[in-house]
Structure 1
Amino acid sequence: MLATRIVFVIDKIEYKYFEFNELVTSFWLIKEFLLREKEVYITTIDKLSLDLNRPIAHLYKAFMKPASEDIYKENRYIEADLNDFDVIFFRPDPPVNIEYIFATQILDFVDKNRTFILNSSSGIRKANEKLYINNFPEFVPASVTTSNSDHIREFVSQYGEAVLKPLNRCFGKGVFYLKKGDKNLNTIIETATDHKKTPVIVQEYLKKANNQDKRVIMIAGECYEECLIKLSSEEDFKFTNHRDQFLKKAELTERERYICSEISGKLMEDGLYMVGLDTMDDRIIEINVTSPCFFIKELNKMFGVALEKRIADDVEKLVKKQVKPSSRICAGSL
């Protein structure tokens, strides 16, 4: 079973409003581990530091009250060595800016023989959520990554329609639909690239997907059958509203199962144990590794499951395989 002491590095907004929110995946997992009587602490990237080569953090203990379904945190922090914990969930939201990168570099000093980190700090640096898909060119749409506006216009001219995405943002921020002949095309490109200074990815627009993408969960290299489709609103071409009417129960296709089996080895090799794939028309458009939303509330209702329990079970099995029993003599079982 999973070890007894767990740290969640969460987003600053989640820390500020720390109470159970059924739309937040990290809160579901924190609550599940508390119900399993684990010792759970939370922190944020600005509360991580190094004492020479010793990774330390200001940690706030999470807890539940009797007869309450909510989660709480203590007001006072403890300063602790991260090597004294068994598992660290690293789940701050993008943007992956320099502060985010520094946080992963601090976690590089955690003794991986004693403390298991998911997703791994080096893996997150390696796996830009927009670019990592290019490790699997046979499973992705055509794309170009560049700050060169001429290259982008040539791509749009070739495919007729395209989608432009910034490389370090999330939740659909800064994503544009591009169309050949649009009088605003040059302005969009110049704005998005900050006048040829900032690279972006431009992907082929997949008409057959009808502005719908599917979220596929992968834990420890295995894909879950429970999945859903994210719908765009009538005023947009992408999912931007986390509400029930924009989410629809779905099934994995055989092609998606095959894709998951083919990319699994690379994900595990890079320490990407908790992943959310976004697929369209049986192709991967993004691989979310920083703080993927697993839509636990919605999938539980759609499929009649308790997804948070299954994820916790699978993480426990993963930790048991990855961490040597002798590396933490004093640790209890999770």
Structure 2
Amino acid sequence: MKICFVVNSVASEGAGTTVYMMYEAWKRKHEVFLMGVGDFSFTQNEALSIISTSLPANSKPETPEEYLEILQGEKAKKLKIVAKDLDVLFIRNNPTEESTGRHWAEQAGVAFGRMVQKEGVLVLNDAFALSNAFIDKLYFEELPASVKPASLITRDKQEILDFFEAHKKKMILKPLEGSGGRGVYLIDKNEKNLNQIIENLSSQGYIIAQQFLPAAKEGDVRVLLLNGKILQKGEKYGIIKRVSGEGEFRSNISQGATPETSELTEGIRKIVKIVGPKLKRDGHFFVGLDVVKDKLIEINVLSPGGLDGLDKIGVDNFSDVIIDAIERKIEYKKLYGSGISNRELATME
């Protein structure tokens, strides 16, 4: 299998979920390539190509971290490959992590992904599904209200103030397009800079005002889904609790939260039972859900992470389960050819 992973840039990639999956695929002797969103190359009337990075033949990394170190080193193999010669293109770049000088990069992965998909390569998640869910917080609003806290998306200050009053003067404010807990505020009746916070966030785009859930003080739970179901290996699940640091309400690992083990609760089961079928129908192979008790607070279809966190707390990194699933899809593709659409194939078990 020839598989290429798309990230923001090869140089800036960290040893997280993407690298764990790459390392697992490489251990199985697959041809594994890494590329940034700026590494596509297109000439009219010629096949779309990719400037890829891969390990030199004599490499023997023993951990995902060593694997990445070689990829980012001087000995890494640089090769221009024809995109349609790939079996799989796995889009893993996070548009919200792009710097202000790289606006061109935000939609490049998905846009070129659609072109690669049209050439018959299996694209994960489905590139057209990613286009429809490109602003994942807006896609989140398509889900049933019964599993979500009350929310408002607007740039109008008065609407936000009215929402604040209607929810007992306590709410979360965050940018519609953002990740990693950046630009997220807990607002209560003691907040003296509310007008400035609203102005600052609205200058960046749309704002989400979300009902505050008291249980969020205890942290949230990242739930990883594969083919619309909870990532599972034997009796272990791809679930990780993220406990906020002292004085911090955000549960992002990047903001200092501590990963811990978590049980599969009835609240999580209910949420997955409701949202899983839609994610599967839409063509989302690998998805991250953020849950507080029995409420879904965020969804990540573009670049869900957590495998490295699960590995660090001794649960499992589940990369083998994910690569198993991709290998099965390639077998289905060989058997059925063009008789199955990319969207269907992306979530076939």
TM-score normalised by structure 2 residue count: 0.82
8 Å contact from structure 1 (residues 94, 170) kept in 2: no
5+ residue gaps, structure 1:
328-334
- Tell whether 2:185 aligns with 1:176: yes
Alignment partner of 2:153: what SS?
Answer: strand
- Tell whether 2:275 aligns with 1:274: no
8 Å contact from structure 2 (residues 245, 256) kept in 1: no
Deviation by residue 1:171-227 (Cα, 9 ceiling, x = unmatched): 111111112352211111111111xx7211111000123251110010111113331
Alignment partner of 2:48: what SS?
Answer: strand
Q: Flag the 1:154–1:254 CA change in 2: closer, same or farther, 3 A.
A: same
Deviation at 1:306, TM superposition (A): 4.8
Query: Structure 1 residue aligned with 2:54, among 35, 51, 61?
Result: 61
Aligned counterparts of 1:110 and 1:205: Cα–Cα separation in 2? 41
Aligned counterparts of 2:305 and 2:117: Cα–Cα separation in 1? 28
- Tell whether 2:111 aligns with 1:105: yes
- Tell whether 2:233 aligns with 1:222: no
Aligned counterparts of 1:243 and 1:301: Cα–Cα separation in 2? 17
Query: Structure 2 residue aligned with 1:210, among 217, 231, 247?
Result: 217
Aligned counterparts of 2:182 and 2:110: Cα–Cα separation in 1? 23
5+ residue gaps, structure 2:
232-236, 339-349
Aligned counterparts of 2:320 and 2:132: Cα–Cα separation in 1? 29
Identical-pair percentage: 27
8 Å contact from structure 2 (residues 26, 32) kept in 1: yes
- How many residue pairs align between the two structures? 316
Deviation at 1:170, TM superposition (A): 1.2
Between stretches 236-245 and 263-272, larger displacement belongs to 236-245
RMSD: 2.5
Query: Structure 1 residue aligned with 2:8, among 7, 11, 20?
Result: 11
Deviation at 1:16, TM superposition (A): 1.1
Deviation at 1:79, TM superposition (A): 2.1
Alignment partner of 1:171: what SS?
Answer: coil
Deviation by residue 1:77-136 (Cα, 9 ceiling, x = unmatched): 322221110011111123175522133112211245731111122222222222222111
Q: Flag the 1:18–1:161 CA change in 2: closer, same or farther, 3 A.
A: closer
| Larger RCO (CA under 8 A, 6+ residues apart) | 1
Give the aligned residue type for 2:4: V
TM-score normalised by structure 1 residue count: 0.86
Deviation at 1:315, TM superposition (A): 2.7
Deviation at 1:302, TM superposition (A): 4.0
Deviation at 1:66, TM superposition (A): 3.3
Deviation at 1:259, TM superposition (A): 1.7
Residue matched to 1:316: 327
Aligned counterparts of 1:29 and 1:8: Cα–Cα separation in 2? 9
Residue matched to 1:153: 161
Deviation at 1:241, TM superposition (A): 4.0
8 Å contact from structure 2 (residues 89, 113) kept in 1: no
Aligned counterparts of 2:229 and 2:334: Cα–Cα separation in 1? 19
Between stretches 46-55 and 261-270, larger displacement belongs to 46-55
Residue matched to 1:330: none
Residue matched to 1:86: 87
Query: Structure 1 residue aligned with 2:196, among 161, 168, 187?
Result: 187
